[in-house]
Chain A
Amino acid sequence: MAKSNFHKGLEGKNRWYTETAFLFFLPLLLNAQTIKTVAVLDFNATGLSVLEVQTLNQYFISQVSSTGDVAVLERTEIDSRITGSEYEGEASSCYNPDCALEIGRVIDVSEIILGAVVQEGDEFRISITNLSIADGQTVFSRDIIYRGLTDGLITEIQILAWEAMGRAPPEELMAERITGAVTADRSKSKVGAMIRSAMIPGYGQLYSGKKRWAGIWLGAETVAAGLIAMSYNNYLIAYDDYNKHQKLYNDALDPDVVSEHKENALASLSEVESANDQVKLATQLAAAVWLGNIAHAYLVGPGRAGAATSSISITPLVFSEGSNYNYGFKVTIGLD
C-alpha cells in the first residue's frame, strides 16, 4: 500500500531527528572512547591504622578522578568484577605488580595503581606505581619520604595522584605543599634499573617489579657462569695432563719413549686448546646475557606512558663462522 504524504513526512522528520541526534552525540561518543579506566588498589601500609590508610587511599582516588579523562573504578565494582575469578577477594591484599596486572586484566581497566605507605616515627615512606594493563609496562613509579604534619602528607598523596596520571598538579595544590617536607625522592627510573642490572643480572628487573624476568635473567647468567666454571675445570684438567706428559717427554732418554710421550703431550695440548675455546665461548655467552639483561632492564624500567616501551623486542642472535661463534642482539622497535 503506498504511503500517504503524512507518513512520508513523518519518516523524513524521523530521519532528520535521528541524524541530528547522532551528530549531536557523536562528540560525546568519541570523547567517551578516550576516557581511560583506572583502578586503585588498597595501599599496603605499615605503622598506620586501617582507617588512616583507607583515608589516604580515598584522598588519592579522589585526586585521580579530578585529573580528567579518567574513570576510576569504584571498589565495589572491582570486587564485583573479580567475583568468581581466581582473584576473588584478593583486591585488598594485592601489593605486587604481577598480581595487580592480573587483576587489572580481569576487571578490564586501562591502568591499575598500587601503593604503599610506611610510617617510621615521624617519617612516612610513600610508594606509588601505575601499571599499564595493555602491555604490562610501568607507566609511573615514585618513592618519596615525607616528614611533617598529616596535612602535608595528604597534600603529597594528592600530588602523587596527579603525577601518576601523567598530569601536572594544580597550582593551588602545589601551593599547599610544605617546603622541605619531602627529603628524599627516590624516583625509579630506567637508568636506575639499567645500573642495577649492570651490577647484578635481574636486579634492575626486580627494581621495576618484574620478578619473573628478574628470575629469568639471573637464572640465565647463573647457567652461563656454570658453563664457564665447568669449561675452566676441563681446561685445568687438560693442562695438568699436558704438564705431566711434557715432563715425561723432557725426562725420557730413549727416542722411542720420547716419541710416545711427545704424542701424548700433543694430544693433551689439543685438549687444552679445545677447553680454552669452550671457556671463551662460555664467557661470550655470559657477556651476551649480561648485556641483554642491561638493555632489557632499561626497556622495561619505569617510564611515562607513550614512551617507546610497548613494542620493543630483543632477540638474541648467534653467528657462526666455521668454528668461531659470535653473539649479538636484534632490537625491533614498533613504529605503530
Chain B
Amino acid sequence: MVFLSCEVPTGDFENPLDWENLYKKGVEVPALVFVPDEVTVSVGDSVELRIIALEVNNVRGVSVTVKYDTTRLELKSVKAGDFLRGGNDPLFVYEKNSQSMTLDIHTVCLGPDSLSYSGTGSVAKIVFSVLAEGLSTVTIAGKSECVDPSDEPIQLETFGSAYINVE
C-alpha cells in the first residue's frame, strides 16, 4: 500500500490503416490491403479479414484475387464491403478455387456510367475458420486491380498480406 501505483497502458496503435504504420511497412498508395494484417488465434477460431481499398481515386469496380492455404484455413463467408455502396448495393460475386488455393472477388458499383468512388473503404469482408496450428498467410495477388468508369485499370502500388498466427 505504501507505494501504490496503478496500471498504465502502453497504447496499442497497430491499426494497419494508421499512417505511421503504413509508412513503417513501406505501404505506398493507392493500395489494396488487409485489416487486420496480423492476428493471433487458436485452432477452431474464426478470423475476419477486410479487404481495404486505400487512398484510391475514381474507382468504379474492383477485382481481387486472394491467395490462402486451403489446408490451414477454411473459407466460411464472403460479403461485400461499404466502399462501393452508394444508394444501391454493389454487384458482388466471388469464386473459390481449391486447386489453385485462391478466392476471386469481383465487385462493381451500380448506377450512372460516370459513377465512381474515391478515398479509403472496405471492398469485401472474408471470414475464415482456422484448421491447423502455425502461421498462415493470406495474400492479395498482384493481378488484382481497380478500374475506373471507363474500365481502365488504376495503377496500384501495394498489394497487402495478412498473417494469421495459430497457437
Contacts and interface: CB of A to CB of B under 8 A. Distances in A.
A266 interface: yes
B69 interface: no
B88 interface: no
Contacts of A265: 11, 13
Contacts of B120: 253-255
B8 A276 contact: yes
A77 B107 CA distance: 111
A287 B19 CA distance: 46
Nearest to A283: B4
A280 B8 contact: no
A275 B7 CA distance: 11
Nearest to A239: B9
A250 interface: yes
Contact of A272 (B3, B9, B19, B55): B9
B50 interface: yes
A213 interface: no
B35 A255 contact: no
Contacts of B55: 255
B18 A276 contact: no
A254 B120 CA distance: 6
A71 interface: no
Interface in B20-50: 22, 35, 50
A262 B22 CA distance: 14
A220 interface: no
A124 interface: no
B6 A232 contact: yes
Nearest to A262: B13
B4 A254 contact: no
A272 B26 CA distance: 32
User: Per DSSP, are chain A's interface residues mostly helix, strand or loop, or mixed?
Assistant: helix
Contacts of B11: 246, 265-266, 269
Which of A249, A255, A262 has the most chain B CB within a 10 Å cutoff? A255
B17 A287 contact: no
Contacts of B54: 255
Which of B15, B18, B19 has the most chain A CB within a 10 Å cutoff? B15
A78 B132 CA distance: 97
A58 interface: no
Interface residues of A, number: 27
Interface in A213-251: 228, 232, 235, 239, 242, 246, 249-250
Contacts, number: 71
B12 to A, nearest CB: 6
B100 to A, nearest CB: 29
Contact of A249 (B6, B15, B35): B15
A279 interface: yes
A272 B5 CA distance: 12
A253 B52 contact: yes
Interface in B115-139: 119-122
A259 interface: yes
B5 A253 contact: no
B5 A280 contact: yes
Contacts of A266: 11
Contacts of B6: 232, 235, 275-276, 279
Nearest to B11: A269
Given A246-B12, A253-B120, A269-B9, A283 B2 contact: yes
A242 B13 CA distance: 12
A135 interface: no
B18 A279 contact: no
Interface of A: 228, 232, 235, 239, 242, 246, 249-250, 252-255, 258-259, 262, 265-266, 269, 272-273, 275-276, 279-280, 283-284, 287
Given A255-B18, A280-B4, 16 more contacts: A242-B9, A246-B9, A250-B15, A253-B35, A258-B19, A259-B19, A262-B13, A265-B11, A265-B13, A269-B9, A273-B8, A275-B6, A276-B8, A279-B6, A283-B2, A287-B1
14 contacts: A242-B9, A249-B15, A252-B17, A253-B52, A253-B122, A255-B22, A258-B18, A258-B19, A265-B11, A269-B11, A272-B8, A279-B4, A279-B5, A283-B3
